[in-house]
Amino acid sequence: MASRGAFQLNVLLILAFAATAFSALSPYYYEHVCPEALPTIKRVVEAAVYNERRMGASLLRLHFHDCFVNGCDASLLLDSTSTIDSEKNSRANQNSARGFEVIDQIKIEVDKICRRPVFSCADILAVAARDSVVALGGPSWMVPLGRRDSTTASRTQADSDIPSPLMDLPALIENFKRQGLDERDLVALSGAHTLGFAQCFTFRGRIYNETNIDDDFAEERRKTCPRNGGNTTLAPLDPSPARFDTGYFNNLVEEEGLLHSDQALFNGGSTDELVKAYSENARAFSADFAKSMVKMGNIKVLTGEAVFWCCLGLCLVVPLSLILRDMPSYPFDKQVKIVIVTMAIHNYIRRHAKCDHHFEKIENDPNFILEDNDRDDDFQEENHNSNTPGAREVKKLRDSIAASLMRA
Ligand code: HEM
């Protein structure tokens, strides 16, 4: 019995290490491992938004700025170190991106409720964005989950990939296209500017120099955003910055977009029609916004490795997370031992895989079924040079591991 186990162990494990990256986000990713995580995030976001309505806008923007720089991998949250040039210091984020302390608080509470750090920061950013929109009266959507966090960040990449408020329509379209997002996504996602505020220096050029702007609106904005100074004075991005509605699109149609890049969406170009449609149809805007948020949340996500389990001609793809998620939270030194032993087994099996001619038989004859007798003969034959006491010990070990695996 144990020897049959050894054979099956080979079949399973050797091929299992033909690991492959596998993008498999799912809204149910944490359902078993930590069902309390999502309600916890919602609770912390709601409390933060209750405390300050603008925080909902700021959290939504964090997810956007995370996803546009090398994918949604929480790289935005990494501080500078000797090897990391933090994205927090990029042009778009410095003295502008906010809400990091709320994300920190969510992470602490989620780790506590889950009793271990299973919920990724990239997923927290995605869920917090959704919960913020809901808290401010916007649509809800299922957030696909299972993103892995990055260990690196890039300020240079942030400077080149986060769109500038000075961009014209072609540049905006191109910028979104590079992220796999189309014109519809651009317009729908820009609708996030139905929430929150912008600092004077980001729209000064527009209110003093541009002609496609309503006079009264420009005049009003100039009162709090002087030609010189007052760089950080805030103005709302639409008339109701704490309510998710179509005010932003109505503004664009009235030439009252605050940022140059906002008005670029309604300035005689290919997106005019969609802006008009959203201004007249809140449902269409909400539905498209939710759809585009899921699409944005999918940009270049890192997911857990998946393994191919191939056994007797049948191959299954199993995300490693499924296998690992019920891993007990052992003390650190025990975890280190597990990794070392696992690698030792891995290397042992890998080295011996080449001379396991049962694989060859299965490869050549899909109907081949290994009999116990057959196996013993073959086993003796293939190991005739390694029947030393040491090798026998290793075989015993291999068999006992196989037997326990088969029992599991
Ligand atoms: C289309 C290109 C975009 C440009 C050029 C742009 C630019 C900006 C700028 C300059 C600000 C003001 C920042 C400040 O003054 O500190 C801002 C605020 C904001 N942006 Fe965007 N943005 C864009 C798209 C998006 C997208 C796709 C989202 C989310 C899905 C988003 C969400 C927000 C929110 C919610 C705020 C207000 C934040 C707050 O009040 O803290 N933006 N954006």
**Tens of each residue's pLDDT in the chain, 408 residues:** 334 444 444 434 443 443 333 447 999 999 999 999 999 999 999 999 999 999 999 999 999 999 999 999 999 999 999 999 999 999 999 999 999 999 999 999 999 999 989 999 999 999 999 999 999 999 999 999 999 999 999 999 999 999 999 999 999 999 999 999 999 999 999 999 999 999 999 999 999 999 999 999 999 999 999 999 999 999 999 999 999 999 999 999 999 999 999 999 999 999 999 999 999 999 999 999 999 999 999 999 988 655 444 444 344 445 555 556 556 677 777 777 777 877 776 666 556 655 556 655 655 665 655 554 554 444 444 444 555 666 676 666 666 666 665 554
Catalytic residue among 32, 63, 65, 346: 65
Tokens of 84: 């990391």
List the beta bridge partners of residue 236: 197
60 close to ligand 1 (CB < 6 Angstrom): yes
233 close to ligand 1 (CB < 6 Angstrom): no
* Spatial separation of the C-alpha atoms in residues 65 and 57, rounded to whole Å: 12
Closest CA to 358 of 308, 311, 295, 302: 311
Closest CA to 244 of 210, 272, 278, 204: 278
What spacing in Å lies between the alpha carbon of 61 and ligand 1's midpoint? Answer: 6
List the beta bridge partners of residue 309: 316
From the CA of 96, give the closest atom in ligand 1: 16
Q: Are 399 and 3 in contact (CB under 8 A)?
A: yes
- Strand arrangement, sheet containing 20-21: 20-21, 305-311, 314-319
Percent composition of the chain: helix, strand, coil (DSSP 3-state, to 5): 55, 5, 35
57 close to ligand 1 (CB < 6 Angstrom): yes
From the CA of 261, give the closest atom in ligand 1: 5
Residue 85, phi then psi, degrees to nearest 5: -100, 100
| Residue positions counted in the chain | 408
What spacing in Å lies between the alpha carbon of 296 and ligand 1's midpoint? Answer: 14
**Is 358 marked active-site?**
no
What spacing in Å lies between the alpha carbon of 193 and ligand 1's midpoint? Answer: 6
- Res 140: pLDDT: 98
Q: Is 66 among the annotated ligand-binding positions?
A: yes
Q: Is 180 among the annotated ligand-binding positions?
A: no
3-state secondary structure of 53: coil
- Res 334: pLDDT: 79
3-state secondary structure of 399: helix
Q: Which ranges constitute the DSSP H helices of 210-306? A: 215-224, 247-253, 260-263, 272-280, 282-296
189 close to ligand 1 (CB < 6 Angstrom): yes
* Spatial separation of the C-alpha atoms in residues 184 and 60, rounded to whole Å: 19
The set of long-range contacts for 402-407, using a CB threshold of 8 Å and a minimum separation of 24, is 402/2, 402/5, 402/6, 402/7, 402/8, 402/9, 403/1, 403/2, 403/5, 405/5, 405/8, 405/9, 405/12, 406/5, 406/8, 406/9
Q: What angle do CA 297, 200, 219 make, to 5 degrees?
A: 120
**Considering only CA atoms, which residue is closest to atom 32 of ligand 1?**
61
Q: Where in the chain is the domain with CATH 1.10.520.10?
A: 23-162
197 close to ligand 1 (CB < 6 Angstrom): yes
* Spatial separation of the C-alpha atoms in residues 222 and 53, rounded to whole Å: 25
The dihedral region occupied by 345, where left means phi > 0, alpha psi between -120 and 50, and beta the remainder, is alpha
- Res 85: pLDDT: 95
What spacing in Å lies between the alpha carbon of 159 and ligand 1's midpoint? Answer: 15
Fold classification of 23-162 is: Peroxidase; domain 1 (1.10.520)
Q: Is 163 among the annotated ligand-binding positions?
A: yes
Q: Is 73 among the annotated ligand-binding positions?
A: yes
Q: Are 99 and 139 in contact (CB under 8 A)?
A: no
Q: Does domain 165-295 have CATH number 3.40.50.150?
A: no
Chain-centre distance for alpha carbon 136: 23
Q: Are 267 and 153 in contact (CB under 8 A)?
A: no
**Considering only CA atoms, which residue is closest to atom 12 of ligand 1?**
198
From the CA of 203, give the closest atom in ligand 1: 10
What spacing in Å lies between the alpha carbon of 204 and ligand 1's midpoint? Answer: 16
3-state secondary structure of 71: coil
Does an H or E element contain 305, and which? strand 305-311
Q: Is 87 among the annotated ligand-binding positions?
A: yes
- Res 12: pLDDT: 42
Q: Are 88 and 94 in contact (CB under 8 A)?
A: yes
Q: What angle do CA 19, 20, 22 make, to 5 degrees?
A: 130
What spacing in Å lies between the alpha carbon of 177 and ligand 1's midpoint? Answer: 18
Q: Is 245 among the annotated ligand-binding positions?
A: yes
The dihedral region occupied by 180, where left means phi > 0, alpha psi between -120 and 50, and beta the remainder, is left
Q: Would you call 36 exposed, middle or buried from its count of C-beta atoms within 10 A (0-12, 13-18, 19+)? A: middle
* Spatial separation of the C-alpha atoms in residues 9 and 3, rounded to whole Å: 10
For a mutational test of ligand 1's pocket, the pick from 61, 221, 238, i.e. the residue with the most ligand atoms closer than 8 A to its C-beta, is 61
96 close to ligand 1 (CB < 6 Angstrom): yes
Lookup result for tokens 């050549």: 364
> How many angstroms separate the first and last alpha carbons of the chain?
15
For a mutational test of ligand 1's pocket, the pick from 58, 59, 64, i.e. the residue with the most ligand atoms closer than 8 A to its C-beta, is 64
172 close to ligand 1 (CB < 6 Angstrom): yes
- Res 305: pLDDT: 54
List the beta bridge partners of residue 152: none
202 close to ligand 1 (CB < 6 Angstrom): yes
* Spatial separation of the C-alpha atoms in residues 145 and 74, rounded to whole Å: 13
* Spatial separation of the C-alpha atoms in residues 244 and 138, rounded to whole Å: 5
Q: Where in the chain is the domain with CATH 1.10.420.10?
A: 165-295
56 close to ligand 1 (CB < 6 Angstrom): no
